[in-house]
Amino acid sequence: MSNRPADTHVEATADRGLSARRLGFCRAGRPVFGDIDLAVGPGELLQVTGANGSGKTSLLRVLSGLLEPAAGELRWRARPVRAGESGYLQSLAYVGHTDGIDPDLSAAQNLAFAMRIAGATPSRVRVDHALDSYGMARTMSVPVRRLSLGQRRRVALARLALVPRLLWLLDEPLTALDEQAGDAFQAQLDAHLRAGGMAVVATHRALPAGGRFLHLGG
Amino acid sequence: MPALFAAIVLHDVSLAWRRRGSILSSLLFFVIASSLFPLAIGPDPQQLRALAPGILWVAALLASMLSLARLFAQEHADGSLDQLLLSPHPLALLVLAKICAHWVTSGLPLLLLTPLLAQQYGLPVSSALLLSASLLIGTPVLSLIGGVGAALTLGLRGGAVLLCVLVLPLCVPVLIFGAGAGAAADAGLDAMPQLSLLGACLALSLFLCPIATAAGLRISME
Amino acid sequence: MNDLADALQSDRATATGTARRWLAFASARRFDPLAGRLAPWFFAAALLLLAAGLYVGFRVAPTDAQQGEVYRIIFIHVPAAWMSMFIYLVMAGYSALALVFHTRLSSMMASALAPTGALFTVIALASGALWGQPTWGTWWVWDARLTSELILLFLYLGYMALEAAIDEPRRAERACALLALVGSLNVPVIYFSVQWWNTLHQGASVSFTTAPSMAATMLAGMLLMTLASWMYTIAVALVRVRCILRERGVLAPTDGSRSGSWAG
């Protein structure tokens, strides 16, 4: 269950990115995962794999600060992360396995509101561009409840293109996506990594983008 | 900051309008509940007039409680609550905007309906208007206190009833001052003491409740 | 109760966040046997003080001129009412500690106190009814204090209901802590509003505040009963918190000699 990369690597990337030492989380008294070490630096991708129930979602939520770890510490740029700390929140983007979009609004309205919540002024141009990159140009004004699961997933991922964030925490991004959308996502992820961003992605199947792997579960 | 506040209020109000079924249900509850009492008590006009402020306040309180369960429910279900918690803006401010929007869609219609319903009780218009004024100051406090309860009971089974059980005792002061204002107005006495006490409750809860609700949301997300 | 020395010796005290979490568990392991040893002493003290208090209240204190023997119920009613308020304040204090310092033991102490607080509220209400019936002919009187006690009972029951409704222990502890804190801030407002409501509508005609003038023995009797209740509360809370520690997996169900896992 533990993954200990070479300590030199951990030291090198620690002060430029995300690092965690002996991270543990439990739910209802039972440990979900424990003793996790990880480090992600600029331009790096960490893929988190594991069976259902191995704690991938919980790990991502702990990394995003939504959950408090039971043990261990989390550091962003060599400083410990406090839950709800504005500096850390402005550096991360989180897409959970629920889409985070309201079914009664249209895709464009959802993304405009998401930009506002994320601390930016809504820009029609950026919203249109983000949805277009996922092939949603024609359906952007349709209420989300009329879209298919795959289309909703595209909208959720399109959110990543709206406000530039250094760290992406993605929970099963490829769920329900067809090949075309999957390729669009890969392209987006590659561009993000090349620009110096970093990503931690929980996934069932390995992404072609490579990177390092962290396997949860015994 | 004000632009963000206004945007969130507008966003929530337009969402609530799209789901106007549930708003209308709680309004209908208010109307039906306040119409039940004369049927139960009897048509004696003096008795009804004396009881009117209290009954209307209790009905408004219960209607507000029932509608509070939906304050965070949809966001919690579709995952957008996560995005609110991850926003770099202060959560207390976002929460205050949501509660404000909730009041616009639940408290405001109640107090607009009250003069109409007061006619069932033979309450003269001037008293009914003052009763509405007490609701104007009091129902936001109910929404604010209820917001804390809604945050704590997020996603729990038996949520709406549990919310009522938790929040109703905390709303007793508002009920006392609000109904007292209505009764005083009808008796021809000065209602200003009650109204200013209500105002004090509003000021205090405006300051404390959003912070408590934000803390409650973080606790409930674990 | 939070043993700083233990935490400093702990090998995981790297970041302050981790140290604080270990503060809770370390002190739980220290606290549990201590609680087990102390509880019987508090029970014994409670019994002794109860005997003394009842003796003073029912034998030594003189008969009241106006109310006869019935007034003696004040020796149960008033200490119960005081304790119900006091326990809520203590719960709020523990809740504040729990929220600020993230210590689980504090919120567990608050949980342990809640049922006892509710019990005292019920005793206060019941004894109030028993006093009211012979004295004024009604089982219930909307006196300011009784009404406040009733609302306090609702607050206690709400706390316990919330605790029961949440499965995840950590969430339950922190949610209840927040509720207790919000409730405690509200209690003065509730008390003031009920007082105001009472004087406005009824005047001070029928009231428990028109108590018989306090002879020294009466005061002594009430103080003894209050102390007895206090000792009882501490004893019961200590026993209950040991059960809670095991229920929530902080300690193993067997005797606290074997240390529990860090997964609380």
Instruction: Tell me whether 0.90 is exceeded by the ipTM.
Output: yes
Residue C261 lies in a domain: no
CA distance A33 to chain C (A): 10
Residue C255 lies in a domain: no
- The mean pLDDT of chain C is 81
Residue of A nearest to C245 (CA): A29
pLDDT for C88 beyond 80: yes
Question: Domain span at residue B209?
Answer: 2-220
Complete DSSP assignment for B94-143: HHHHHHHHHHHHHHHHHHHHHHHHHGGGT--HHHHHHHHHHHHHHHHHHH
Tell me the pLDDT tens digit for each residue of C142-154: 888 889 999 999 9
* Mean pLDDT of the C215-233 span: 88
Measured at the CA of C241, the angle between CA C240 and CA C244, to 5 degrees, comes to 90
Residues C182, C88: contact at Cβ < 8 Å?
A: no
Report CA dihedral (A106, A111, A114, A116) to the nearest 10 degrees.
Answer: -110
Interface of B with C (CB under 8 A): 148, 152-153, 156-158, 162, 165-166, 168-170, 172-173, 176-177, 180, 197, 201, 204, 208, 212, 215-216, 219-220, 222
- How many structural domains compose chain C? 1
Residue C241 lies in a domain: yes
* Mean pLDDT of the C129-138 span: 83
CA distances (Å), B50 to each of B39, B53, B161, C159, in order? 15, 7, 30, 35
pLDDT classification of C214: cutoffs 50, 70, 90: low
DSSP classification of residue A208: T
Residue C253 lies in a domain: no
Closest CA to A3 of A80, A61, A55, A78: A55
Distance between CA atoms of B79 and C16, rounded to whole angstroms?
31
- How many structural domains compose chain B? 1
Distance between CA atoms of A61 and C21, rounded to whole angstroms?
19
Residues A47, A214: contact at Cβ < 8 Å?
A: yes
**Burial class for A143, CB neighbours closer than 10 Å (0-12, 13-18, 19+):** middle
Residue A198 lies in a domain: no
Q: Which residues pair with A212 in a beta bridge?
A: A46
- How many structural domains compose chain A? 1
Question: Which residue of A104, A147, A168 to mutate against B (max B Cβ within 10 Å)?
Answer: A104
Contact C248 A29 (CB under 8 A): yes
Complete DSSP assignment for A135-149: T-GGGTTSBGGGS-H
**Burial class for B106, CB neighbours closer than 10 Å (0-12, 13-18, 19+):** buried
Contact C194 B176 (CB under 8 A): yes
Report CA dihedral (A101, A102, A104, A107) to the nearest 10 degrees.
Answer: -20
Q: Which residues pair with B57 in a beta bridge?
A: none
Question: Domain span at residue C156?
Answer: 26-247
Contact A118 B83 (CB under 8 A): yes
CA distances (Å), C1 to each of B49, C177, C230, C258, in order? 58, 18, 19, 20
Q: Is C15 in a helix, a strand, or coil?
A: coil
Residues B45, B122: contact at Cβ < 8 Å?
A: yes
Taking residue B92's Cβ as centre, other Cβ atoms within 10 Å add up to 18
Residue A18 lies in a domain: no
Interface of B with A (CB under 8 A): 4, 7-8, 11, 15, 18-19, 74-75, 78-80, 82-89, 91, 94, 218, 221-222
- Which single residue is written with the structure tokens 């973080």? B218
Residues B75, B150: contact at Cβ < 8 Å?
A: no
pLDDT for C2 beyond 80: no
Tens-digit pLDDT profile for chain B (222 aa)? 788 999 999 999 999 988 888 888 889 999 999 999 888 988 888 999 999 999 999 999 999 998 998 899 889 988 899 999 999 999 999 999 999 999 999 999 998 999 999 988 888 988 999 999 999 999 999 999 999 999 999 989 888 899 999 999 999 999 999 999 999 988 888 889 999 999 999 999 999 999 999 999 999 987
Question: Domain span at residue A129?
Answer: 103-163
Portion of chain A with pLDDT greater than 70, in percent: 92
Distance between CA atoms of C239 and C30, rounded to whole angstroms?
15
Amino acid symbol at C214: M
